[in-house]
Amino acid sequence: MMRLTLVGPSEDGLHLVVEAESGDRFELPLSDELRHAVRYTRPAATTAAPAAEESDAPTLSPREIQQRIRSGLTAAELSELTGASLSSIEKYEGPVVAERRYIADLARETRIGRDPSAPQLGDLVTDRLAARGVDPESVVWDAWREVDEPWRVAADYRVSGRSVRALWTFDHTARTLTGEDEEARWLSETELLDVPIPRRHLSAVRDSEKDAARPLQATRPPAPTEPVPLVDQDEAAVESEAGEAEAPPAVEPSHTELLLDDLDLRRGTREAAPDPEDDEDDDEAFEGFGPARARQAETGFGHPSGRARGADATPAPAPVTEPKAQEPADRRTSKRGRASVPSWDEIVFGAKNDQA
């Protein structure tokens, strides 16, 4: 009988290459019958040697094996690290491997954000890696944990021929993920913020150079240099009633009018400025209190204040008003039985007019 020695599998992986003592090589097809014969038909001599080797190998408790497997080791790595037989480790690794797979799937289904419609981690990673040209099927997910530490979830993939790992810390009870490196944060970050950031409102800022050269605009027109002559109180009342009936456009009051308004508030009667067309003395400027006293002495106190007319002065025609505008005048006449209010002359000159 020719004795053959196993060389190894063929290049296509479908045959076993064996070599004779003469150096000739042969290929033996890998059939189911061959696999079955190699697996179950073993001589007693061949099984005795491995049994002796296993008896000399160190043994690990089931709890220690599961803790090591849960921390991220494989059965082969644990066997190589501790020297324990592979078969003794594989007996207890099944439940722990299933637990790690379950935690990894749970992390992929965790939503990033508090919104119920927020995307899941697995969907975000797939979309982000697709932009890099990474096949989603090539991503390998894994989970592990050390004793008294939280779970860690990793996604391993290749980008441009180099291996890349993204690592998260996963709280499986609260279903929260925290990226531990830049790769994980880039894959799981979203534009949806849990807490809105307050927006800063824009406000006008003064340009010191331009505003300094820009002239300031007055908010009130300057007061007239010449004071407005005084008018008769009775005519002022009639003219004010006519002005209200005609509803002229509003004019911003001058400095003198503001002074008159202040006096009217104290005595309860408003004295309006005369119409320039009704009084021929309107063009004369008020020369101060001295000329006014002289003019008062010439005309006497028989005339109303501020109405010293000459003999050739013709009275201005009374403005035509609607009957409705006469009603306030009638009410004003009905109140003349009361005590008179001091006039402008009484306040300025300290004199009292004699009513005719």
As beta bridge partners, residue 26 has: 18
Amino acid identity, residue 270? R
As beta bridge partners, residue 158 has: 163
Give the pLDDT confidence of 123-178 residue by residue, as tens digits.
999 999 998 888 988 999 999 999 889 999 999 999 888 899 999 999 999 999 99
Mean pLDDT of the chain: 69
Give the pLDDT confidence of 212-242 residue by residue, as tens digits.
455 444 445 555 555 545 444 455 454 555 4
Lowest average pLDDT, out of 11-25, 45-59, 67-81, 86-100, goes to 45-59
What is the Cα–Cα distance from 205 to 224, expressed in whole angstroms?
A: 36
pLDDT above 60 (res 117): yes
Domain ranges of the chain: 1-41, 109-188, 227-305+323-331
Strand bridging mode 25-29 / 140-144:
unpaired
What is the Cα–Cα distance from 101 to 105, expressed in whole angstroms?
A: 6
Give the pLDDT confidence of 235-270 residue by residue, as tens digits.
545 455 544 545 445 555 566 777 777 777 766 555
DSSP secondary structure of 302-316: TSPTT----TTPPPP
DSSP secondary structure of 221-263: PPPPSSPPPP--HHHHHHHHHHHHHH-PPP----HHHHHHHHH
pLDDT at 69: 94
What is the Cα–Cα distance from 342 to 149, expressed in whole angstroms?
A: 97
Which among 197, 175, 177 has a CA at the least distance from the CA of 187? Answer: 177
pLDDT at 275: 55
Q: Give me the phi and psi of 37, to 5 degrees please.
A: -70, -40
What is the Cα–Cα distance from 156 to 162, expressed in whole angstroms?
A: 11
**Helix, strand, coil tally for the chain in percent (to 5):** 40, 15, 45
Amino acid identity, residue 290? G
Query: What pLDDT band is residue 6 in, cutting at 50, 70 and 90?
Result: confident
What is the Cα–Cα distance from 152 to 166, expressed in whole angstroms?
A: 10
pTM of the model: 0.41
Q: Is the Cβ–Cβ distance between 26 and 40 less than 8 Å? A: no
Tokens, residue 67: 């803790």
